Structure 1
């Protein structure tokens, strides 16, 4: 709905782009009411709906009815904070008999309702505002000036879903929508949680505060030494780790999740980032074994395996954590050796090109655990 006013020089036509579905009971003005000479009254047809976090616009059409070009200046004032409104214009001059459009853009902070403190007894949060548009016209040739004003209402309302489920007659009462919003704000988060319950039960998408519960659900102990992203993958893969516990496959998979090293299933064992090799021999068999070649007397270690880790860069591996994982996953009767082999190449700090790392005697670039 629009409201217009014509005078000797210019006419104004205001069109709100967002119209409230219901108006407060105190807005008793009717369309066509006048307040003083040369002013358009504030009426339901000139009411703009404002929602926090959403832009709202009032289109202003200005037609030049005079016989000369006019230079225009727009000014917006009211009971609302000035930073809410911005004025956009196509230009400043309107030729004779032509029309120009301007836009009053309103934007409220997203946290408009949250940033206010709880009102004291007897106080209410102000949601209804008044605005006044003043258009100053100047005829450059004669210097003749004229001022036209228009008033409009601004109603701040939260976005509400519940009134849509009621008969249409209730949407005509402004209080009903605001009253239902109180219940919607308290109940809707629970509904949204139920709609996305699957995401709360998946460790990869669950909120961080819910991870300890999900870990306890599958009997998993959180590892504070590693990142939260790796924690999520470990919790999600806990059942697979339990299923393959005590095997080489299970230990490689666990080390892959903890260290971030790839499994490299397509590479031979000697080139994998995580290599686990077992020692198999028939031992000393009289008549078939050659002493010193394929058999030894004493010092043998049955049920022994070797873990070789090949990180891509230095300090990628938390060796204490890796040792803890191996001790936890291996059979109790097994022994092992752990070798963390430092990379031979890494990016140079100065040229960003691969450069060979120096291997010094006694350096921590290559460490051996046994």
Structure 2
């Protein structure tokens, strides 16, 4: 007889929960043993559910599903550790979405490089009415990414990321530099 998952038992054998009269019946014990074998993977999964939803511990094939569950799309070309980091950071990144710090963190995660962002806007308060607005009149976002020499960066994917994460009305420029 071949087991569904070799060597996987159950911590809750059904036969042990039956009344003694059934535990003495070989047919009942054989039948409950078969149920134990079939249910063992489901019970094991439920017992380890916390590990499945932890991006650092989840099985590699479960990480993209977990990302989708959290509303994140992963680049399948990224190494597994970067994918795990993206899933782990996605809630924090969503909180900062649309801000310079959030955009910087997102681009750093995508490239592994150092990110400099220069924006044209600004914030200021004044007690004087009609005081000049901060920043420049023409809005613009300049993103400069510095990566180690030989590090592959897909500029098209990075452009798509910037378009998706920056405020829609702000034009941008992107520069990728190797050091």
Question: Shorter-chain TM-score: which interval?
Answer: 0.5 to 0.7
- Kindly report the root-mean-square deviation, in angstroms, between the aligned alpha carbons of the 2 structures: 3.4
Partner of 2:147: 311
**2-side partners of 1:209 and 1:160: how far apart?**
24
How many positions carry a matched residue from both structures? 160
The answer to whether structure 1 residue 180 and structure 2 residue 41 are counterparts is no
Query: Residues 250-286 of structure 1: CA distance to partner in whole angstroms, max 9, x if unpaired?
Result: 011111221123xxxxxxxxxxx221123469xxxxx
Question: What is the deviation of 1:185?
Answer: 0.4
Change (3 A) 1:191 1:231: same
**2-side partners of 1:208 and 1:192: how far apart?**
17
The structure having more radius of gyration, on CA atoms, is: 1
Partner of 2:131: none
- Equivalent in 36, 53, 72 of residue 220 of structure 1: 72
Query: Residues 191-212 of structure 1: CA distance to partner in whole angstroms, max 9, x if unpaired?
Result: 2222112222233333444445
Q: Which structure is richer in relative contact order (CA contacts within 8 A, separation 6 or more)?
A: 2
Question: What is the deviation of 1:164?
Answer: 5.0
Structure in which a larger fraction of residues adopt strand: 1
- Contact conserved, 2:82 with 2:109, CA < 8 A, in 1? yes
Question: What is the deviation of 1:182?
Answer: 0.9
Question: What is the deviation of 1:180?
Answer: 3.2
Question: What is the deviation of 1:184?
Answer: 0.7
Give the TM-score taking structure 2 as reference length: 0.68
Q: Unaligned stretches of 5+ in structure 2?
A: 123-135
- Contact conserved, 2:10 with 2:40, CA < 8 A, in 1? no
What pairs up with 1:164-179 in 2 under 5 angstroms?
165=17, 178-179=30-31
What pairs up with 1:103-142 in 2 under 5 angstroms?
113=2
- Contact conserved, 1:303 with 1:335, CA < 8 A, in 2? yes
What pairs up with 1:169-208 in 2 under 5 angstroms?
178-208=30-60
- Contact conserved, 2:10 with 2:43, CA < 8 A, in 1? no
- Equivalent in 92, 113, 116 of residue 275 of structure 1: 116
- Contact conserved, 2:51 with 2:58, CA < 8 A, in 1? yes
Question: What is the deviation of 1:248?
Answer: 0.9
- Equivalent in 164, 170, 179 of residue 334 of structure 1: 170
Partner of 1:242: 94
Question: What is the deviation of 1:245?
Answer: 1.5
Change (3 A) 1:191 1:259: same
Partner of 2:125: none
Corresponding residue SS for 1:187: helix
Q: Unaligned stretches of 5+ in structure 1?
A: 1-111, 115-157, 262-272, 282-299, 344-370
- Contact conserved, 2:93 with 2:106, CA < 8 A, in 1? yes
